[in-house]
Structure 1
Amino acid sequence: MEGNNPESYAGIGAFVPRTARDREMWDRLVAFCDKEPKAFERDPATSHVTGSAFVLSADRASVLLTHHRKLDRWFQLGGHCDGLADAHFTAWKEAYEESGLRRIRPLSDRVIDVDIHAIPQNPREVGHWHYDVRYLFQAEAGEPQSSAESKALAWVPLNRLSDVTDSEGVLILPEKLEQFLSDHC
């Protein structure tokens, strides 16, 4: 494990890079935010920062995933910052909007993961990059209800993630959760 001193960036928060992948993603995110004045806006011409929520079940054995309507794949909850330079708030807000849950508690205000991935061109926008900043939450009340952005929602056991998705950005959750729990328990 690398040091426990988190690195911080305005609008994103603190992150402790632990692997070469973590370091690369964090450095790319910080460099993007430093050079792009519209980093938190929803402009596909410049790419943008997004905020995502890994929402765990009360027993922390499952994560709530959404079957994304446009991309037709299973992902964590999340969305665009839409000009608000606060990725943690965006992740929390999107978790509520996309899940239908009545109470969601942040497990930390620290970033649990950064994932930079390409969004393919579609009829409404050019291809671009999402600089996705991920945070960890826990569901405390309510039953999931799909939103207009989702085909379905499902509590997926952490040990069964590969049964529903091949997204490396989702499959990394068990490793990230183990690191989080070792730091906080």
Structure 2
Amino acid sequence: MSLHDDAVLVLKGYEHQPELRDVYLEHLAAHPDGVFKPCAAGHVTGSALVIDPVGGRVLLTLHRKLGMWLQMGGHCEPGDATLADVALREAREESGIESGLSLLPGGPVRLDRHPIPAPCNWHLDVQYAALAPAEAVAEISDESLDLRWFAYDEVADVADASVVRLLEATRARL
């Protein structure tokens, strides 16, 4: 099964945000390359909110290009077999937590479609949550200006509404 096929199956099984889910599915139906960055109409991305439920905290990255506190995430790569693989790979790469991360069961937590500069138009982000072990030590990557743990109640003060919604949806599923 291709990454494109996996994305279609994952999205067909995602029961929340039906209007946005249908936008994603229409995009994938129209663009066989719609999971990869070169697709000029936009592309699917995968992200994961790294969360330490025992400590009541989340790990955010200060994105190098955007200068915003965000969850870990990025583009699909040819070696990725599934959207879950994309999200977990990005979580590991950007958090520096090499072992012990696992995705919260139940598939994606949210979808978030946001505009990006030309030549592409949209990121169609499929958002997961990654559970970190309580003893996890994060290490900043080249893609970040900073990396920091925030208590749940601090997130709204530093991150945009999409990250806050992702945290709320993740906490509701825990």
Range class of TM-score, shorter chain: 0.7 to 0.9
Residue ranges of structure 1 left out of the alignment (5+ in a row): 1-8
SS at match of 2:6: coil
Deviation of 1:162 after TM superposition, in Å, equals 1.5
Alignment of 1:153-164 (within 5 A): 153-164=147-158
Deviates more, 1:112-121 or 1:63-72: 112-121
- 1:135-173 residue CA offsets vs partner (Å, 9 max, x unmatched): 1111125311111000011111222112112x2220102
Deviation of 1:177 after TM superposition, in Å, equals 2.1
Distance in 1 between residues matched to 2:50 and 2:42, nearest whole Å = 25
TM (norm. structure 1) is 0.81
Runs of 4+ in 1 over 3 A off after TM superposition: none
Does the CA-based 8 Å contact 1:66-1:152 persist in structure 2?
yes
SS at match of 1:40: coil
Match of 2:50 among 55, 69, 74: 55
Residue ranges of structure 2 left out of the alignment (5+ in a row): none
1:115 aligns with 2:109: no
Does the CA-based 8 Å contact 1:112-1:176 persist in structure 2?
yes
Match of 2:125 among 110, 115, 132: 132
Match of 1:171 among 164, 167, 171: 164
Does the CA-based 8 Å contact 1:108-1:135 persist in structure 2?
no
SS at match of 1:11: helix
Distance in 1 between residues matched to 2:39 and 2:28, nearest whole Å = 15
Partner of 2:61: 66
The root-mean-square deviation of aligned C-alpha atoms, in Å, is 1.9
How many residues align? The count is 164
1:38 aligns with 2:33: yes
How has the CA–CA distance of structure 1 residues 138 and 179 changed in structure 2, closer, same or farther, with 3 Å as cutoff? Answer: same
Partner of 1:90: 86
Identity of aligned residues (%): 34
TM (norm. structure 2) is 0.86
Deviation of 1:38 after TM superposition, in Å, equals 0.6
Distance in 1 between residues matched to 2:173 and 2:15, nearest whole Å = 10
- 1:44-80 residue CA offsets vs partner (Å, 9 max, x unmatched): 5231100000110141611111000001111100110
Q: Which has the higher helix share?
A: 2
Deviates more, 1:61-70 or 1:167-176: 167-176
